[in-house]
Structure formats: structure tokens, C-alpha cells
Structure 1
Amino acid sequence: MRLVAEAVGVRIGRTVILGNVSLDLGPGAFVGLVGPNGAGKTTLLRILAGLLPATTGRLTVDGRAMASVRRDERARRLAALFQGAGVGWPMRVSEIVALGRLPHRRAFAALGDADRAAIARAMRLADVAHLADRAEPTLSSGERMRVLLARALAVEAEILLADEPITALDPAHQLDAMTLLRAISRRGIGVVAVLHDLTLAARFCDRIIVMEDGRLVADDRPDAALTDGLLASAFGVAAHRGTAFDGTRYILPWERSGPGTKEMG
């Protein structure tokens, strides 16, 4: 599956929320979508998911306009996980994850063997199998995020769009989630995740897209996208760089930089 945005923009009145963003997303890559707060990351993700219409530009799926793709096909081929996406009523975890199989079933049809296998696989991968009988209101924020990730994985879509999938997780589960998302991409699924942790983004992602003020300002491999100049201009930070014991290069945002920097005391 290839998802392409061509000069996509969103305007509310005279305010430009997103301006002329073009990108090409395909299979087999883990893409990190980063940028300061208010840069337009979630807006772009909602457009890519077909949940928000663009004011200008064009969005295509395998060369077809997104609007012309039937909803059921879109739901099978494109999975999305957004911050604040609650369940709304006290369902059990296993039931929540099973919702990910709805695009593959006829209305009111029972779960089939393929559905049950996909649900079990998704719960195992997201480390929520032991929560199967828990009711959603009893979950912590981190557990809830992992359950929603499992629901998205159960779709077994060709592209997974995830909005801040590691924000509510503890460090161990952040590492697990990033390892999982990278592993999924290695199986040929396209993964696009909004991330705020630049260290993890640089370590795990194949490609980094940086946004600032509704514009795309970088789109490259991590070391080429997250340069010192861009970190200073887009994020207002300076970073330490180094090499871990296994040879992996890392970047660690360390202090504020630029005119706004103040000595704290």
C-alpha cells in the first residue's frame, strides 16, 4: 500500500494549520513524525487516516483519491491509534481488542478462527494478554494505551498510524513498544508514529519527518534529519551525541539553546 499526500493543507479562516505538506508513505518502514507542540503532527496524521479532510491538496491510496476508497476497504488496510481515544463503556480488554477485527467481519457475524488468532497475537505482542478479563475503567493510562495498540494491531492493516503511542508508558514498555513497531515494519507494514522522545525516535526509526509551524522542514534518515541546526531552530534545544556499547549512535537532547535560553537558579 502506498499513501501519498500532495501539497496537503488545512486552513481555518485565515489561520493556516497545515501548509503544503507532501510525503510518500509505503510498506516496510518505521517513520517517526516529530516536531514541537502545535507543529501540526496530529492534524497531518488525521488527514492521512482519512478522518479530517484537507482544505487544499490531494491524498491518494495506491494512486486513487482517498475519498474514492470505500470505508470498509480503508478500515482493513489502514489502522489508526490516536491519543484520547477512549472506549466509552466498561468493556473487557479482550472485547476491546476484538474491535480491531470489525473491518474483516460482516455485521453481527461471530468471530472466526482467523479473528481469534489475530486477537491473541495482537494481545501477546502488546503485552496485554494477562489483562484479557480486566474491565477498561480499571486500567492505568499505560495499560490502556497498550490495549488500544493491541486493538490497532489486531486489524493487521498494511499501514499503522499511531499518535504518541509511547507517551503514557513506563521506560520498559516504551522500549518494548518501539521494538514492536520496528519489528512490525520489518514484516512489510508501514508504521508512522507521532513521537516526542527524540532519543528513541533516532534510535528506532528508519526515517524522521520533522514538522514546524504546520510545515514539513525535514524528511530523511534520523542522523540527516535531526541535525544540530534543526534541533536548535525547530525545538530550541542542543543535544549530546554518542555511540552506545553496541555501536548504535544516539542523540540526547540536553539543554535549551538559542536566544530564549536562561540560566536557572
Structure 2
Amino acid sequence: MRLAVEHAVIRLGGRTILDGVSLAVGPGEFVGLVGPNGAGKTTLLRLLAGLITPDAGRVTIDGRPLDGVTRDERARRLAAFFQNAGIGWPMRVREIVALGRLPHRRAFAAESTADHVAIARAMAVTEVAELAERIEPTLSSGERMRVLLARALCVEAEMLLADEPITALDPAHQLDAMALLRRVSHDGAGVIAVLHDLTLAARYCDRLVVLDRGRIVADGAPATALADDLLHAVFGVTAERGTHADGGAYVLPWARSQQASGKTRP
């Protein structure tokens, strides 16, 4: 599946949030959307999910306009979760995760064997099986994030859209979540995630798309997309770089750029 946005413009409250954005993601890619606060990352993800309509441009699935794809097909092929998404009412964790199977079932139909397997697998890989009987309001923010991720994985969609999937997670679960998303992509699905941790984004993503003030300013391999001049110009930081003993390269934001120190971005 190829999900693309072409020359998209989004205006909200008289302000341009996305300005001529074009992006295409295919199967097996793990793409990180990074950029400073207010750059348009979550807006772009919402556009790709079909939750908002562009003022100009279009979103396509395999070349077909997204707004021409039926809701049922879209629900099966695209899975998304957003960190501020509401559950709606108190539900048990297993019931929340099982919602991810609704696109595969007829109305009021009982869960199939395939549903049971998908639910159990999603809960296992996100380590929420032990929370199965807990009610959503009793969950911590990190537990809730993992439950929402499990629900999205349960869809077994061709494309997974994730808004800040490691926010509120402790370091161990951040590593687990990033490794899981990379595994999902290597298994053939496309993954697009909004991320703020540049170190983990550079380590796990195949490709980084950098947004600044509603425009894409870099799109490529992490080492290229997070070049020193871009880190300074877009994020106002300098970075330390190195190679781990396992051969993996890393980038670590280290300090505010001298010119940026004490200043506020316009």
C-alpha cells in the first residue's frame, strides 16, 4: 500500500498549518515525522488518517483519492492512534484492544478465532495482557498509551499512523515500542510516527521527515535529515554523534546553539 499526500495546504483560524506538503510512504517503511513544536506534524498525521480535509491538495491510497475510499476499506487498511484520543466510556483493557477488530467483523458478529489470535498477539507484544481486566480510568498515562498502541496493532492494517507513541513511556518501554514499530514495518506494513526524541528516531526509523513552520525541510535517511546545519536552523541545538559498540550510529542533542540560547523561536 502506498499512502501519499500531494501539495497539501491546511489553514486553521486564518493561520497556515501545512504549506504545500508532499509525502509518500510505502510498505515496509518506518518513517518518523520530526520537528519543533507547532511545525505541523500531528496535523499532517491527521490529514493522512483522513480526519481532516485539506484546503488544497489531496491524499491518496495507491493513487486513489482517500475521500473516495469507503469507510470500511479505510478502517481495514489504515490504523491510527493519537495520544489525546478519548476512549469514550469506562471499558476494560481487553475490550478496548478488541475494538481494533471491528473493521474485520460484521455488525454484532461474535469474535472469530482470527480475532482472538490478533487480540492476544497485540496485547502480548505491547505488554498489556496483565492489564486485561483493568478499567481504562485506572490506567497510568504510560499504560494507556500501550493499550492504544495494542488497539491499533490489532487492526493488522497495511499502514499504521502513530502520534507520539513513546510519550509518557518509561525508557524501557520506549525502547520496546520503537523496536516493535520497526518490526511491524519490517514485516511489511508502513509505519508513520510523530516523534520528539531525535536520538530514538534516528536509531530506529528508516527515514525521517523534518517539518518546520508547516513545510518539509528534509526527507531522507536519519544521518542526512539530521545534519548539523539543519539541527541548528530548525531545532536550535547542537548534537554529539558517535558509533555504538554494535556498529549503530547515534545522534544526541546536546546543547542549545549559541545563537539560539535564550531566544524564542518566532
2:122 corresponds in structure 1 to 122
2:68 corresponds in structure 1 to 68
Which letter maps to 1:106? R
Are 2:58 and 2:65, in contact at CA under 8 Å, matched by a contact in 1? yes
1:202 corresponds in structure 2 to 202
Is the partner of 2:33 in helix, strand or coil? strand
Q: How does 1:232-243 map to 2 (within 5 A)?
A: 232-243=232-243
Once the 2 structures are TM-superposed, how far is the Cα of residue 261 of structure 1 from its aligned partner? 1.2
Is the partner of 1:9 in helix, strand or coil? strand
Is the partner of 1:255 in helix, strand or coil? strand
2:191 corresponds in structure 1 to 191
Once the 2 structures are TM-superposed, how far is the Cα of residue 238 of structure 1 from its aligned partner? 0.4
Which runs of no fewer than 5 residues in structure 1 stay unpaired? Answer: none
Is the partner of 1:165 in helix, strand or coil? coil
Which letter maps to 1:164? E
C-alpha deviations, 1:47-98, integer Å up to 9, x for none?
Answer: 0000000110111111111110000100000000101112122211000000
C-alpha deviations, 1:33-56, integer Å up to 9, x for none?
Answer: 000000000000000000000110
Which letter maps to 1:171? P
Which letter maps to 2:109? A
Are 1:232 and 1:258, in contact at CA under 8 Å, matched by a contact in 2? no
Is 2:128 aligned against 1:133? no
Once the 2 structures are TM-superposed, how far is the Cα of residue 247 of structure 1 from its aligned partner? 1.1
Once the 2 structures are TM-superposed, how far is the Cα of residue 184 of structure 1 from its aligned partner? 0.5
C-alpha deviations, 1:2-29, integer Å up to 9, x for none?
Answer: 1111101101354211000001111001
What is the percent sequence identity of the aligned residues?
Answer: 68
Measure, in 2, the Cα distance between the counterparts of 1:104 and 1:147. 19
Is the partner of 2:147 in helix, strand or coil? helix
Which letter maps to 1:62? D
Which runs of no fewer than 5 residues in structure 2 stay unpaired? Answer: none
- The two structures have a TM-score, normalised by structure 1, of 0.97
Are 2:237 and 2:260, in contact at CA under 8 Å, matched by a contact in 1? no
Is 2:263 aligned against 1:253? no
Which letter maps to 2:222? P
Which letter maps to 2:71? R
C-alpha deviations, 1:127-163, integer Å up to 9, x for none?
Answer: 1111111111111000000000000000000000000
Are 2:17 and 2:214, in contact at CA under 8 Å, matched by a contact in 1? yes
Is the partner of 2:157 in helix, strand or coil? coil
Is 2:173 aligned against 1:173? yes
Is the partner of 2:242 in helix, strand or coil? strand
Which letter maps to 2:150? A
Aligned length: 263
Once the 2 structures are TM-superposed, how far is the Cα of residue 207 of structure 1 from its aligned partner? 0.2
Which letter maps to 1:55? D
Measure, in 1, the Cα distance between the counterparts of 2:193 and 2:15. 26
2:32 corresponds in structure 1 to 32
C-alpha deviations, 1:220-251, integer Å up to 9, x for none?
Answer: 00001000000001101000001111111100
